[in-house]
Chain A
Amino acid sequence: MVETKDIEYVAKLAKLKLNDSDKEKLIPQMADIINFANRISELNTEGIEETNHILNMSNVFREDEVKTSYKRDDILMNAPQKEAGCIIVPGVNN
């Protein structure tokens, strides 16, 4: 069963702020969806390999050759706040 504390824990991990009315709405919805997802527990997957990739490929590499980087202006053109050629965020203590 999904409980309030599960939802709060997950929201914290996902960096989402939920107010009480969000939670009230979300908890039954999540419970429904998780319950539905949980149907796969009925499947017998003993001895079955996981499909990490649907393509049967491996060793896709790039050569170690330098290409010109982007202009700083293009890299920062969408930054919400910038200063001294950098993105700026609220102070990080350590």
Chain B
Amino acid sequence: MIGILDYVWLVPLVPVVCFVLAGLFGKKTPQGGGYIAVAGAAIAFIIAALASIDYWTSDYWANNQAYTVDMTWMMVGTFEINFGVYIDSLSCIMMLFASFISTLIFIYSIGYMDDQGEKKTRYYAEVSLFLTGMLGLAVSSNYLEMFVFWEVMGLCSYLLIGFWSFTHPEGDEASFRASSAAKKAFLVTRLGDVCLMAGLFILMYMVGSLDYADIFDNAAILADKYGKLLPVAILLMFAGVVGKSAQFPLHDWLPDAMAGPTTVSALIHAATMVKAGIYLIARSFPLFVQCTDVMVIVAVIGGVTAIYTASMALNNMNIKRVLAYSTLSQLGYMVLALGSGAYMISLGLEGGEHAEELFLLGGAAFTAGVMHMVNHAFFKALLFLGSGSVIHAVGTEDMRHMGGLRHKMPITAYTMLIGCLSIAGIPIFSGFWSKDLVLEAAFAPYHHGFGDAGTIFLILFILGMITAFMTAFYMFRMWFMTFCGKERGHCHGESPYNMSVPLIILAVFATLSGLLMLAFKSFGTYGVLESLAVGFGFEFPFHTGGETIVQIFKEIPTYIALVLAIAGIGIAYKLYVATPYDEEAFKPENHGALYNFNAKRHYFPELYNWISWKFGAGIAGIVNAFDKHVIDGTVNGLSNSACGGGDGLSAIQTGYVRDYAGLVVVGVLAILAIFALIFLYGGGF
């Protein structure tokens, strides 16, 4: 106990202070506030690390509790909304990797964004705010607070993807693409956010509070009391995840988001934004496990996203796009693992003879999802920063103009190789462990014959296996095309140290983070993964890291996945290294129908446009007509009648005294006549 846990609220506060400082005074400091942003992220990381150590050595952790402190934010009647922190192992892990990777990305940005001039100030202010969003999300103590930070991230992603909206180094066409990509990201995620908000309203109605502690304590009661409403709430919350974490069918904004600077892509894909959706599932796990059927849907969406988006990466020529699709595919893995884990635990909660085993497997699946999120953060940050380094040196994102770069930029080439090995799932590298656990999690319900959805999970497992093969293939296709063969373009050589050093650090973590999380007896006597089981209101019986490793190597799917991954790498080698580069084959007119279909993203952007034109524009037209005719009509009608009435009445005002006198006489006579009538017929007053 060193007492820093009480100051954990500083973690999101430091970057937001940096946002203000960099925004206001960034122009006066060197690198347009870059050092402020780096310092903020580094300080946030240090505080997060100290607070995490504090938590893991505290009584809260030992007693299976979350550390939570709340203050009242607002009162609406008897309904109280709090603002506070909720720290358990999941939040600790989230804070740690988000702030650590962001620090490295910010350092890298100083080199990468060096030539951006005054716009750097804007960049550094916005990335600081982005980090605030993620860290705030990680420490929030209730859903509303989380939603606030969730939206902060939505805003920052919009601003940063559209960083080049006004002037793009590649001309107007590119800046137009950037602004439309930003709009797309904002609107598509907004669709999910609206659903999430609706889900939270239902939750508020059911529980009367949005505090994690209240909701998780009452989760089982809720399931009994609101058997129909709870699945709806959870589905709506999951729709928020689908938007934020770019799951099928709302996946299409993420590839477009590549229009921003590469560092922003790294930030969105590794440390922030898309990880928020995964975090929401992991955080809401005690709630999600109450609905067995919904969890099947979650797992299916994850599995479908994984293979579907992997297929689009197979023939893409843009180095960043390949990475974007691989992110989508890996996010699908995470959702698949979490869905499958929640499915098994929900079956376990129903009791029965297998309950113990189900808890064990479900817990393993949950940790697989979270672990893959962390590992993915490391290797994807590495890959994106590596691709940024390549783009920086070559000046294009098109892999057809790269090739043979490993001699000119060895650090970038070999660190990226580590990233590729990790994502492809080669043993020792971090991706291997978590990907294997994910696939095992998908396989488990069928393998052990749990529940009615076994066949569905078998299909998902097979899809996952094919995805593993595709992943290995397209990642190495990218690496071979970029770094092997003959040089096809111009290259400036290796990037400066402030770019290559973060790459090396990330490469170390991309290699070791899996093993560290499995085996490292961290902060006391427990492994990081085991600590995840804490604070959920129920306990997972847990494999230790060592047992998990043994388990991994005992299962047959491990070896199948490994063979598939090596086959993928082999085919990539055969096609892109052993076969000489044939320029003709890459020309658009020589592409087959399937190739074009895939390259056009299965016409998903067209589908989005079609829906928005047919459906969105129709509604917009009706709203516009209502606005023009009903609302404007009322206002204009009122003002017109006032004007017309005034004109009409002013005609009486002739300015001739005798007219006025005549009117007075008429008036007097009229009054007299009325009085006379009253007297004659009414019998007096």
Verify that A and B bind, or say they do not.
Answer: no
Binding site for A on B (CB under 8 A): none
